[in-house]
Structure 1
């Protein structure tokens, strides 16, 4: 019988980002004082809560390593969101975690963007290092208000931005096009999004698909019964601005396939954010290289976990890496397999 271990600890659920930053300063490594032992094989895997696509993906990886010929085990540790999980990895509380490329770049450059606050008092002493890009998140915005025809019409409106720990993906596109200060972004449980729209508590809301998939997250399935829902578009000028933003890409979402009813448009251009697996930099090169070897030897199995991972393979894993450090163990694996890009940053 196959066993998978889950640690459902909620670490400092009431703590704010600044509190976690302070914690990272007390526990974090990078100067030989980390709580992470380089040769540890029992990896705490910081991930978002159960029911999220991120949790499903991490569960697939944990199952893979449970069955693989390796001493590495992945124990899922749910947190309040991607940024909290990333900061806990920096603090040595998690060995591996999920995060957007923005978290890596912003923390490495000690700068701040909405939902990726790593400048000033929020800097962290240890920057988690990239291992591989695994998927991207492709957000889009929906409304039931006929007076709202485009993203521009959201100025002065209230928009549901999902859970607090996932603020980046819903906030940074508005920051990129200069609308961030003009929109009231409210945070709340993902499951509240359909009700908030239906009851008129918000004017619009953000939802998403992952990678090339068309599966809505579980909490968004109720949107399928709301056939008066309309999908909003960015203007061509706004999309050009987004394409110039180092934190975002622009990709197409076939919204007509995501919903069970005929949508007002067939496809929408999405301000897309790549997601990576990050590890604590003190993990040994040999173990991180082994993590890569097992992952890339089982691409077909990983792709079957969820359509969010449908694009995952060795090339995708490298092409999605961005301008923050890549763990040397991963670099070694990519170099040996002729995949390394010299424009990337070796940790």
Structure 2
């Protein structure tokens, strides 16, 4: 056998081994997957559905996004294995891991692992311009306020935040698009959003009518920072046509999540795809500008999935030992 023939044979054998290994790696992959998002009209739905499509297209696994009640429900559905992937916020994640989820009190949701950071969720307030409400203190007693889907991050934290600030209100729930319609029709007075910006429902509202986007005063912001697991935030003026300058707010970080028992190679490929293609992630939603590995430090709650840990460590990012599965 000539040297060229030997080399060709070795190359073909190596290629066959790689193909066999790749096939073996995929044998335990799920046939399909679903990403838990939130209600239509919110950022979670746009981000999660687009991310699901990216995974399906690039990894060749059938999948898509699903409308849910948001972070709390996504945590519960991923924990039980009813959903493979989901989106959540760090406040609800901490409560779920401690067995304090409002959906399942006493159940420690320890089959939920973090994948990568998404973006910060600002807490913001929108009213119609003709309501006369230009500040939080202007909200009249008994005002009807929409807080998003029941048990969502907004519904979990925003009522308590407004109570802390002395607002008396009547609580309403619903999807963001539906609440936007109710605000425009005069059926509710205020919407208290906790969602990534720009919020599709707000962008749609300000095209159709004049709105006020209400910011926190410095004193209100400080009072909320002292009472809740949130961070200071500025909504950039460029986010909405209505804003003439940055608006003071508070925020909470969001992460993608997966069942801890999902195959390591599957999750590794999802993490690799998501972290190495930020331009494509930004095409899904511009808030993905912050979906970069440098922001993984904002998860101090959930363990990272072993597949995600492998990608991070291969690329020079350290994961604290207490955030790795035993």
Residue aligned with 1:131, SS: strand
What is the deviation of 1:79?
A: 2.8
- Give the one of 222, 225, 228 matched to 2:208: 225
Q: Are 2:117 and 1:133 equivalent residues in the alignment?
A: yes
Q: Judging changes above 3 Å, is the alpha-carbon distance between structure 1 residues 152 and 174 closer, same or farther for their aligned structure 2 residues?
A: farther
Partner in structure 2 of residue 193 of structure 1: 179
Is the 1:96–1:278 contact (alpha carbons within 8 Å) kept by the matching residues of 2? yes
Deviations 1:86-143 (A, max 9, x none): 21111111111111112211111223xxxx526735x345441111111222231123
Unmatched tracts of structure 1, length 5 or more: 1-36
Partner in structure 1 of residue 261 of structure 2: 282
What is the deviation of 1:221?
A: 0.7
Residue aligned with 2:270, SS: helix
The structure richer in helix per residue is 2
Output aligned runs, 1:1-347, within 5 Å.
39-40=29-30, 42-68=32-58, 70=59, 72-111=61-100, 117=102, 120-121=105-106, 123-144=107-128, 148-154=133-139, 156-165=141-150, 167-169=152-154, 171-176=156-161, 178-179=164-165, 182-207=168-193, 210=196, 215-218=198-201, 220-227=203-210, 229-244=211-226, 247-255=229-237, 257-259=239-241, 261=242, 263=243, 266-316=245-295, 318-342=296-320, 345-347=323-325
Residue aligned with 2:149, SS: coil
Is the 1:141–1:204 contact (alpha carbons within 8 Å) kept by the matching residues of 2? yes
Is the 2:55–2:61 contact (alpha carbons within 8 Å) kept by the matching residues of 1? yes
| TM-score normalised per structure 1 | 0.73
Deviations 1:247-300 (A, max 9, x none): 3222111346503x5x5x622112212221111111133322222112222222
Q: Judging changes above 3 Å, is the alpha-carbon distance between structure 1 residues 257 and 342 closer, same or farther for their aligned structure 2 residues?
A: closer
Residue aligned with 1:197, SS: helix
Partner in structure 2 of residue 24 of structure 1: none
Is the 1:248–1:273 contact (alpha carbons within 8 Å) kept by the matching residues of 2? yes
RMSD in angstroms over aligned alpha carbons? 3.2
Q: Judging changes above 3 Å, is the alpha-carbon distance between structure 1 residues 281 and 67 closer, same or farther for their aligned structure 2 residues?
A: same
| TM-score normalised per structure 2 | 0.77
Q: Judging changes above 3 Å, is the alpha-carbon distance between structure 1 residues 210 and 282 closer, same or farther for their aligned structure 2 residues?
A: same
Deviations 1:166-206 (A, max 9, x none): 63225514524614884322113423434433444323222
Partner in structure 2 of residue 19 of structure 1: none
Query: d(CA) in 2 for partners of 1:63 and 1:310?
Result: 18
Query: d(CA) in 2 for partners of 1:51 and 1:327?
Result: 30
Residue aligned with 2:93, SS: helix
Deviations 1:134-160 (A, max 9, x none): 122223112346654422343733343
Residue aligned with 1:99, SS: strand
Deviations 1:192-246 (A, max 9, x none): 43443344432322246625xxx4414751333322x323232323312333466
Unmatched tracts of structure 2, length 5 or more: 1-26
Is the 1:134–1:309 contact (alpha carbons within 8 Å) kept by the matching residues of 2? yes
Is the 1:197–1:205 contact (alpha carbons within 8 Å) kept by the matching residues of 2? yes
Residue aligned with 1:93, SS: coil
Query: d(CA) in 1 for partners of 2:67 and 2:185?
Result: 30
